[in-house]
Structure 1
Amino acid sequence: MSKPLFGASELWPTFHAVNDTLRGGSSSSSWLVDDRTNVATFKGHLDITTLGGAGFASQSTLFPSRLSLSRSRTSGLLLTYVPPPPSSLTDATAGGPGPVTRFVLALKTSEPARRPDGRRESVTVYEWAFDASDHLDGLLEGDVEGEKGEKGEKGEERSVTRLARWDEFKPMYRGRPADDAEPFDPARIYELSFMARSHFGDQAGDFALDVVSLSAAAFGAAARTSTGRGWLGGLWDAVRAAWASWTATVRALWSGERGGARRLP
């Protein structure tokens, strides 16, 4: 069973903009929460002219005492959002950038140090990328379709829920793959952000993504939403979960590290 983190019955934390203006760019972004539906909208403008094809816009939230999710009890994050309507997707076959439909959910497992000028030092970022328009050709393998409702109200339109498995968060450092990075540890999440990047001029313009909720997926969710694995895959998941739970308990008893974190299943 999934555990809601933000959205739905849980309040959203405060987000702040981290855009390419830090590097002299002109992209912008905002994070607005509807008081009636508790649906958050990540919106803005992705510019590719100022920096010669490059550009990014993001909204980020910090967890001072870190967000701690058990890898032995959770399989990843469930992201529920309202996909963009087909009418908003312009034709890019004639050349030029396409509409902004590709986004990144990014997590940081260490606290960035501050430079003397106040800017933050770069750290490894674990990224999960998704295309919000993929639903137009049917849900991808491993995805779960959300509930359908009446149109016209945020959160009541047709929504899609995507499972971002822990092993699908790829380590990146300054925009490049960090193959030597440590394995992702969901028990040490200090920062979470949503990002739209240009992919070197591949997408640009105004964008908006209605985020309904973000939840921690129960470990069994990976087996239930995957296909073609059969009973043997489910058995392997159970064995792996039991082993991870035992090793996590041993580490906790050995280190005595119990406080300082917001712990969730």
Structure 2
Amino acid sequence: MASYSCKYLPLFGSCLSWRKEDWTNSDDTVRGGTSYSKLLVSSEYNSVTFAGKLDCKLLGAAFASQRTTSTTQKWDLCEYDGIKITLRAGDGKMYTLNIKTDIPPHTPDGRDQSSLQYSFDFIADDSKEEQVIYALFERFIPSYRGRKQEGAPPLNRANIRRWSIMIRSFFGKQEGDFCLVLDNLSAFEKRKSNQDRPCGLCLLQ
């Protein structure tokens, strides 16, 4: 097994404060659905709770999400290998971390148009213990409206413009109430190490 130490860059949470105004909901109500989500910020723990309800009754499929609001901020993560997702609590459901490299234009009624995004699915265990998930950029799947896009360009890590945390029904495989408590998101860079792992660093294969 190869041994690596990790360099981290906090993106949300950790030494940075979560700010509710940096996020907004983007749920299936834009397509006539009734699913909804909210983001609750805890200043005590510097964490956020992503919660709400998936309802598949009207559309047969459902989604709910919270996305970043900035139209000017850009993240250059060329030096990093992926995203470390640290969870405080989960509910056993599957969630998705999405990345976009552009800001989609608005439709005539003011909504965002659909556009290509890069998605990483993960299970949030329903244990009450902290969970750490390492999402390598190479494992983010290009998708459009939830469907994989063959032949899409690779993720441009130098021009990340938008983040979102999403839950989907996966065509009826999951629905109902959901609740995910997220401590932080950080970019990580793997570095080969011949030494024992120092405190706070991860080992990856």
| TM-score bucket (shorter structure) | 0.7 to 0.9
Give the 3-state SS of the residue equivalent to 1:79 in structure 2.
strand
Which of 53, 65, 86 matches 1:58? 65
Alpha carbons 2:77, 2:187 under 8 Å: kept: no
Q: Distance in 1 between matches of 2:98 and 2:68?
A: 11
Residue matched to 1:131? 123
Q: After the TM superposition, which residues 138-149 of structure 1 pair with which residues of structure 2 at under 5 Å, given as runs?
A: none
Q: After the TM superposition, which residues 184-195 of structure 1 pair with which residues of structure 2 at under 5 Å, given as runs?
A: 184-195=155-166
Q: Distance in 2 between matches of 1:162 and 1:67?
A: 23
RMSD: 1.9
Structure of higher CA gyration radius: 1
5+ residue gaps in structure 2? 1-6, 193-201
Q: Distance in 2 between matches of 1:119 and 1:30?
A: 18
Alpha carbons 1:104, 1:127 under 8 Å: kept: yes
Q: Distance in 2 between matches of 1:206 and 1:120?
A: 25
Residue matched to 2:89? 83
Residue matched to 2:32? 24
Offset, 1:15:
1.0
Offset, 1:174:
2.0
Which of 34, 38, 56 matches 2:42? 34
Choose 17-26 or 60-69, whichever is displaced more. Answer: 60-69
Give aligned-pair identity as a percent.
36
Which of 100, 108, 119 matches 1:108? 100
Choose 115-124 or 55-64, whichever is displaced more. Answer: 115-124
After superposition, the C-alpha distances for 1:88-135 in whole angstroms (9 at most, x for unaligned) are: 66xxxxxxxxxxx100000110120122232222210100000112x8
Q: Distance in 1 between matches of 2:74 and 2:134?
A: 19
Alpha carbons 1:126, 1:169 under 8 Å: kept: yes
Which has a greater percent of strand?
2
Give the 3-state SS of the residue equivalent to 2:73 in structure 1.
strand
The normalised TM-score by structure 1 is: 0.66
5+ residue gaps in structure 1? 90-100, 137-156, 228-265
Alpha carbons 2:53, 2:178 under 8 Å: kept: yes
The normalised TM-score by structure 2 is: 0.85
Alpha carbons 2:27, 2:35 under 8 Å: kept: yes
